[in-house]
Amino acid sequence: MSGRVEDFLAAQVAARGDAPALSDSLGTAWSFAELDRAAEAVAQMLGEAGVQAQDRVLMLSENCASAVAVLFGCWKLGAVIIPVNARQTDAEIRRIVDHATPAALLMTCDASSDARDHAARIGAVEVTGDFGSLYLAAMRSNPDPTLRDVAVLLYTTGTTGDPKGVMLSHDNVRFGGMASAELRGMTPDDLVYGVLPITHVFGLASVITAACYAGAAVRLEARFSGAKLFAALQDGVTLLSAVPQMHALLMQYTKEQGLTQLGSERLRYVSSGAAPLDPAWKRKAEAFYGVALQNGYGMTETTAGVCATRNPIGSPDISVGPALPGVEVAIDDAVPGGGEGSGEVLTRGGHVMLGYYRNPEETAKVLDAEGWMHTGDLGRLDAQGHLHILGRSKELIIHGGFNVYPPEVEAALNEHPQVIQSAVIGRMKDGDEQVLAFVQVAEGDRVSGEELKAFVGARLAGYKRPGRIFIGTSLPAAPTGKILKHRLLAAFADQLD
DSSP letters of 121-180? Answer: HHT-EEEEETTEEEEEEE------GGGTTEEEEEEEE-TTS-EEEEEEEHHHHHHHHHHH
pLDDT band at 485 (very low <50, low <70, confident <90, very high): confident
Q: Which amino acid is at 16?
A: R
Percent of the chain at pLDDT exceeding 70: 95
> What's the CATH architecture for 224-392?
3-Layer(aba) Sandwich (3.40)
pLDDT at 240 over 90: yes
Paired strand residues for 308: 296
Q: Which of 132, 112, 125, 127 has the alpha carbon at shortest distance from 60?
A: 112
Kindly give the interhelix angle for 244-256 and 226-233, rounded to the nearest 10 degrees.
80
CA atoms within 13 A on the CB side of 48: 8
Is there a shared CATH topology between the 6-177 domain and the 224-392 domain?
Answer: yes
Write down the pLDDT at residue 157: 67
Q: Which residues contact 280 (CB under 8 A, 6 or more apart)?
A: none
Judge contact between 163 and 95, C-beta under 8 A. Answer: yes
How far is the C-alpha of 426 from the C-alpha of 437, rounded, in Å? 9
Over the stretch 36-73, which tens digit does the pLDDT of each residue have? 999 999 999 999 999 999 999 999 999 999 999 999 99
DSSP letters of 446-487? Answer: ---HHHHHHHHHTTS-GGGS-SEEEEES---B-TTS-B-GGG
How far is the C-alpha of 156 from the C-alpha of 468, rounded, in Å? 23
Cα 256 vs. chain centroid, distance in angstroms? 30
pLDDT band at 128 (very low <50, low <70, confident <90, very high): very high
Query: What ranges do the domains of the chain cover?
Result: 6-177, 224-392, 397-495
Burial 145-175 (b: 16+ CB within 10 A, else e): eebebbbbbbbbbbeebebbbbbbbbbbbbb
How far is the C-alpha of 134 from the C-alpha of 152, rounded, in Å? 20
Q: Which of 339, 330, 434 has the alpha carbon at shortest distance from 373?
A: 330
CATH number for 6-177 (one of 3.40.50.800, 3.40.50.980, 2.70.70.10, 3.30.70.1350): it is: 3.40.50.980
Over the stretch 156-165, which tens digit does the pLDDT of each residue have? 865 455 789 9
Q: Which of 143, 153, 151 has the alpha carbon at shortest distance from 73?
A: 151
Write down the pLDDT at residue 177: 98
Write down the pLDDT at residue 159: 45
pLDDT at 304 over 60: yes
Burial 324-334 (b: 16+ CB within 10 A, else e): beebebebeee
pLDDT at 363 over 70: yes
Kindly give the interhelix angle for 6-16 and 170-184, rounded to the nearest 10 degrees.
50
Judge contact between 387 and 345, C-beta under 8 A. Answer: yes
Q: Which residues contact 330 (CB under 8 A, 6 or more apart)?
A: 345, 346, 347, 348, 372
> What's the CATH architecture for 397-495?
2-Layer Sandwich (3.30)
pLDDT band at 335 (very low <50, low <70, confident <90, very high): low
Average pLDDT for 375-390: 90
Over the stretch 81-119, which tens digit does the pLDDT of each residue have? 999 999 998 988 999 999 999 999 999 999 999 999 999
pLDDT at 331 over 80: yes
Over the stretch 244-254, which tens digit does the pLDDT of each residue have? 778 878 988 99
